[in-house]
Chain A
Amino acid sequence: MKFKSSAWLVIALLAFLFAGCSSTGSKEGEGAAVDGPGTSGATTMGAGYGGSWSGNPLDNPNSPLYTKTIYFEFDESTIRTEYIDVLRAHADYLNKNRNVLVLIEGHADERGSREYNIALGERRVNAVRNFLEAEGVDAAQINGISYGEERPAVTGNDEAAWAENRRAVLVY
């Protein structure tokens, strides 16, 4: 049998009843705000480089300038997004201190032939150099050298060691 429209109203009301019953014990219906982990990597500090540090900002553990080594994917020389803030901080520092020189060391993991890895290391040096120059740093402040696989940070023949060796290091 068909129902009059007023009947649907009651059914709707009943539906509200069941809706009320089905919510979990925590809250009613609406989702609470989820506070998951924030974006990884750089510590999110506000402007300025840490409250009360009186020494060289490069040595301040709370400053992004403290991070002087950035890591790369296998066979890659693109800057990973997680290091962009760090490099920006370094660019900023160099722009503010025009007399400071930085040496960028490029490294590769031990896999593959040595001279090719020298060239790979240089690609990583250039990636960092180009980034800094794009941020306005004077080319005269930047030097680069590639060590290829010749100066590993970590000895070892597994991916854990290799990941630590695929790096560019800013040496002041």
Chain B
Amino acid sequence: MKRLFFLVLLLGASLQVNSSTLTIEITQGAEGALPIAVVPFGWRGDPAGPPPQEVAEIIAADLGRSGRFKPLPTKEMLARPTSGDEVDFRDWRALNVENLVIGEVSPNGPGGFIVKFYLYDVFRGEQVTGYSIPTTASDLRATAHGIADIIYETLTGQPGAFATRIAYVTSERNAQGEDQVELRIADTDGYNTQAIVSSKDPIMSPAWSPDGRRLAYVSFEKAQPSVWVQEVFTGKREKIASFKGINGAPAWSPDGRFLALTLSKDGNPDIFVMDMARRSLRPITRHWSIDTEPSWAPDGKSLVFTSDRGGSPQIYQVSVNGGEPKRVSFEGKYNARASFSPDGKILTMVTRVDGQYRIATLDLETRDFRVMSTGRLDESPSFAPNGSMIIYAARANGKGVLAAVSTDGRVQQRLRIQEGDVREPVWSPYLQQERNR
């Protein structure tokens, strides 16, 4: 009897021995940003005339700013390879760096360059991708941002938004008490700022067209608030709406064919949609309350807007064909200035919590409402075109500044744009890389 038992046991043990694969379950790991090293690019030209930008620095700053990557400081690098044959993966494994970017810049005709970069998987010990990009001195920064986009998308699967721009309003009051107001655009890392409009009267509510070539905005020049549309690269502009009363809050439809507006020409502020080709107007809301700040859903079928028809400002959603608006925000007594994420799943808005104005997100599916920022007077939230970050206006030391928070709330950062009062940031869509060509 006992013998039989032992025999069975032996058989059982030997069965395990003979199976071909062992399964091991891994259930925990550290959460965090991906360690990456971006080695300063080599310069293959005249040592006296290096290129005007440090490409590697731009790339590393972009990746770090996204919150998903942790770039290795240059001084901690054990080696500085600039070509594939110089790479020894042991140098990087020792530092626990998982990805390595190296590259070089070579001259390419007068004022031209060729930028080559290679992305390596350190622990696999092999190259992941590499490109060779011709460019010019003035486009060098844009090229670096483009490389950061490629690296971001290769390693995370999500498109990057580093080669996009932001538009914003600045204001400075001189000694005579007069305001100098400007509508400006800049790269998302704060460089290459450029004034689009300059005025003594207020400018508000900039809005990028979906092709990134035009900006709509409100200007109070000549003491008359009007909506203008201006071409970014040529500066050409035209007045779109200048009715009696309020003309404001322009918002482009996803196909660029319509512009939603707030007009109070009929007695109180209501939402209208203008057909840009025919310049005809169609009312979307008709209510004695304030209806303003429209924003389109990415599928173009509905709009969200701010209305105080319920007694205090809340977010409502209405079909583009008009009809009965449906209330969407239910937390707190003040919600305004809502806009959709690029995938249409989340709204960001300004919410008031205990007398403080903050940025919040509302997941339209789970109804999860999260307060994302911590200031007292945060406003004007705007999604990045890859949906990963929200840029907004905050106040610091009595001045307006720009800040950004990642959509999952983990990373917060202040943006260094310039001096003076900065407000109303709006993130451009993905841009065609045409620029000055």
Contacts and interface: CB of A to CB of B under 8 A. Distances in A.
Q: Do chains A and B touch in the complex (CB under 8 A)?
A: yes
A113 interface: yes
The prevalent SS among residues of B at the interface is strand
Contacts of A113: 293, 306, 313, 336-337, 350, 379-380
A122 interface: yes
Interface stretch (A50-58, A82-90, A143-151): A143-151
- A75, A119, A147, A157: residue with the most chain B Cβ atoms closer than 10 Å: A119
B293 A150 contact: no
Contact of A116 (B179, B223, B224, B293): B293
Contact of B337 (A115, A145, A147): A115
Nearest to B334: A112
B246 A112 contact: no
A84 B379 CA distance: 35
B357 A112 contact: yes
Interface in B243-298: 245-246, 248-249, 262, 264, 269, 290, 292-293
A116 B225 contact: no
A115 B224 contact: no
A55 B226 CA distance: 37
Contacts of A119: 246, 262, 264, 269, 290, 292
Given A112-B313, A112-B334, A118 B292 contact: yes
B43 interface: no
Contacts of B424: 114
B204 A114 contact: yes
A120 interface: yes
Interface in B326-354: 334, 336-337, 350, 352
Nearest to B423: A114
Given A113-B379, A145-B224, A122 B352 contact: no
Contacts of A103: 223
Nearest to A75: B312
B373 interface: no
Describe A's contact surface by its main secondary structure.
mixed
B92 to A, nearest CB: 48
B66 interface: no
Given A119-B292, A122-B246, A122-B269, A111 B357 contact: yes
A116 B337 contact: yes
A157 B269 contact: no
B350 to A, nearest CB: 5
B290 A112 contact: no
A110 interface: yes
B377 interface: yes
Interface string A95-117: 00000000100000011111110
Contacts of B70: none
Nearest to B269: A119
A150 B220 contact: yes
Nearest to B173: A155
A118 B337 contact: no
A122 B205 contact: no
B313 A115 contact: no
Contacts of A155: 173, 398
B337 A157 contact: no
Contacts of B336: 112-113, 116
Contacts of B293: 113, 115-116
B289 to A, nearest CB: 9
B91 to A, nearest CB: 51
A114 B377 contact: no
Nearest to A105: B223
Given A115-B262, A157-B398, A145 B292 contact: no
Interface string B214-232: 0000001001110000000
A164 B380 CA distance: 24
Contacts of A144: 245
B202 A150 contact: yes
B395 interface: yes
Contacts of B225: 118, 145-146
A112 B334 CA distance: 8
Interface string A72-85: 00010000000000
Of all A-B residue pairs in the complex, the 9 with the closest CB atoms, nearest first, are: A150-B202, A113-B337, A113-B336, A119-B290, A115-B249, A119-B269, A115-B292, A115-B293, A113-B350
Interface of B: 173, 179, 202, 204-205, 220, 223-225, 245-246, 248-249, 262, 264, 269, 290, 292-293, 306, 308, 312-313, 334, 336-337, 350, 352, 357, 376-377, 379-380, 395, 398, 424
Interface of A: 75, 103, 110-116, 118-120, 122-123, 144-148, 150-151, 155-157
21 contacts: A112-B334, A112-B379, A113-B293, A113-B306, A113-B337, A113-B380, A114-B204, A115-B204, A115-B262, A115-B293, A116-B306, A116-B308, A116-B337, A118-B225, A118-B269, A119-B246, A119-B269, A119-B292, A122-B246, A122-B269, A144-B245
